[in-house]
Amino acid sequence: MPTQREVDEAKIRQHVGNIVEGIRAKDLEGLKKLYATDVVSFDVEPPLQHVGIEAKLKNWANAFTFFQNMTYEVRDLTLTVGDDVAFGHCFGRLSGTLKNGTATSGMWVRGTFCFRKIDGNWLIAHDQVSVPLDILSGKGVTDLEP
């Protein structure tokens, strides 16, 4: 019989899978169900932080406008799960076909998720997406692969 932590980890892994599916489907309503209403997101797009579910969804909606179709891939998801908080990190890549018909393989980013168990449901309370920085040029390094 699985422990509560094993059950919770499986739920969180499914949650991340639901993010992937929500992005592929460009499903803002589905994505909305995965985040805490007071989520704080440090995404690759300015500003430095996006606060609240509407700001997070606006960021996804902006991404959706660039793509005819899109996919999101997650690699090496590692989780640490407590009773009512959990965190994880992974590599992620957004790719697809742009509205002008150009296929793009995207770039790999580093992702961190922080979850809270709210009313029995694991929701993303914080996420951060980043690329490594080349200190000398001041530019992000976007051609690395896991």
The model's pTM is: 0.93
* CATH of the domain spanning 4-140, picked from 3.30.70.2740, 3.10.450.50, 3.40.190.10, 1.10.3720.10: 3.10.450.50
Q: Give the span between the Cα atoms of 92 and 108, in whole angstroms.
A: 6
- What pLDDT is attached to residue 71? 94
Region of 106 on the Ramachandran plot (φ > 0 left; ψ -120 to 50 alpha; else beta): left
Question: How do residues 22-70 score in pLDDT, each as one tens digit?
Answer: 999 999 999 999 999 999 999 988 899 999 999 999 999 999 999 999 9
